[in-house]
Amino acid sequence: MNPDRQIAFGYSTTCNIKCDHCVAHDDATQNVKMDFQTAESIVAKMAGSNVTGISFTAGEPLLFFNDICKLIRICKDNRIYSRVVTNGFWAKNPEHSDHTVSELKLNGLSQLRISYSRWHQENVSQENILNAALSCQRQDLNYFISFITDFSKEDDRFEQFLRKNNLKFFPEPLIYFGRAETFTRPDICSDYQPNTCAMNPYLSPELDMFACCDAGMHFTNTGFFHMGNLETDSIDALFEKKEKNVLYNFIRNMGLTAIASFIGIKASKIVEYRKCELCEKLFNSPENLALLEKSAESLALWTR
């Protein structure tokens, strides 16, 4: 039996707002959309490949509300857990918000993930986030708010808004790729941690599959996370590639810190990196990647 499989599904990269920190977009990114019939057929085939969770993401999925509802329905019919990641633009007032949430729920959505940050909220009112969350609470739809932060004092009042309203939220570190690439990095206040990564794969509207749904899509020097394209490879073949790749498994289980130490990066240097930047140092450098591929067997023995 195949292991459980989850994927971030990029139906379209189009977004109605332009957040300064967006990891999915930089100014070179084109807006692309998957053909709807193709999307339908892929979601149905994923069920046969033991995919148990699909997160509709990329740009703003709910710009294509009717299509996404139909795709959620296919997930439900095939017992696939479905999630939509949204910026909440549609929750302008409680009535509109209730209507949208009830349609999503009726079609079988399992969870709504609402994005929130000081960058998102330059374009979408905080009240929208509150409306969306309260609609989920009223209609018993599982939700959470993904609070993207650089952990600076500037974000305290954004966190306070969530606390004041008793909303369910999880802080998530800003990723300094895409539009955030040029941001100033505040100092990191953390210790020497393993830096493991769950590595959810991502399917793009062009049907390219990546082993990472965040910064790893930007590793264009080596293309380390690009696994193939559904035009030429089957869903099973691409998932198997991900599951069998020894270096991906090291990232998941051993963690980037041990891998960095193995190739000779000093401990005092390792703690200066954020997780995705350390990942880039290791896997978006042709020299480091070649070294790691050559030493994979020795690296497997690099355990305590």
| Footprint of ligand SF4 (CB under 6 A) | 15, 17-19, 22, 24-25, 59-60, 87, 115, 120, 197, 199, 212, 214-216, 251, 275-276, 279
Rounded to the nearest whole angstrom, what is the least distance from the CB of residue 192 to ligand SF4 in the complex? 16
Q: Which lies closer to ligand SF4 via its Cβ, residue 115 or residue 131? A: 115
CB of 97 to ligand SF4, least distance (A): 17
CA distance 69 to 47: 17
Nearer to ligand SF4, 15 or 136 (CB): 15
Distance in Å from the first CA to the final CA of the chain: 31
- 3-state SS, residue 226: strand
Closest approach, Cβ 120 to ligand SF4, in A, equals 6
The answer to whether 265 and 280 have CB atoms below 8 angstroms apart is: no
- Alpha helix ranges (H) inside the chain: 36-48, 65-77, 94-106, 126-138, 156-164, 235-244, 246-253, 256-262, 267-270, 275-283, 286-294, 296-300
Residue 267 has a CB neighbour count (10 Å cut-off) of 10
Closest to ligand SF4 by CB, 82 vs 200, is 200
Shortest distance in whole angstroms from residue 129 CB to ligand SF4:
12
Nearest distance from C-beta of residue 289 to ligand SF4, angstroms: 13
Query: Of 186 and 194, which CB lies nearer to ligand SF4 in the complex structure?
Result: 194
Query: Strands across the sheet with 111-116, in order?
Result: 169-173, 142-149, 111-116, 81-86, 51-58, 5-12, 202-203, 208-210, 226-229
Q: Which is closer to ligand SF4, CB of 167 or CB of 278?
A: 278
The least distance separating ligand SF4 from the CB of residue 215, rounded to whole angstroms, comes to: 4
Q: Kind of pairing, strands 169-173 and 142-149?
A: parallel
Q: Toward ligand SF4, which CB reaches closer, 107 or 115?
A: 115
Q: Identify which of residues 30 and 37 has a Cβ nearer to ligand SF4 in the complex.
A: 30
State the minimum distance, in angstroms, from the CB of residue 45 to ligand SF4.
25
CA-based R_g, the chain, Å: 20
* Residue 241 Cα distances to 4, 122, 300, angstroms: 14, 40, 18
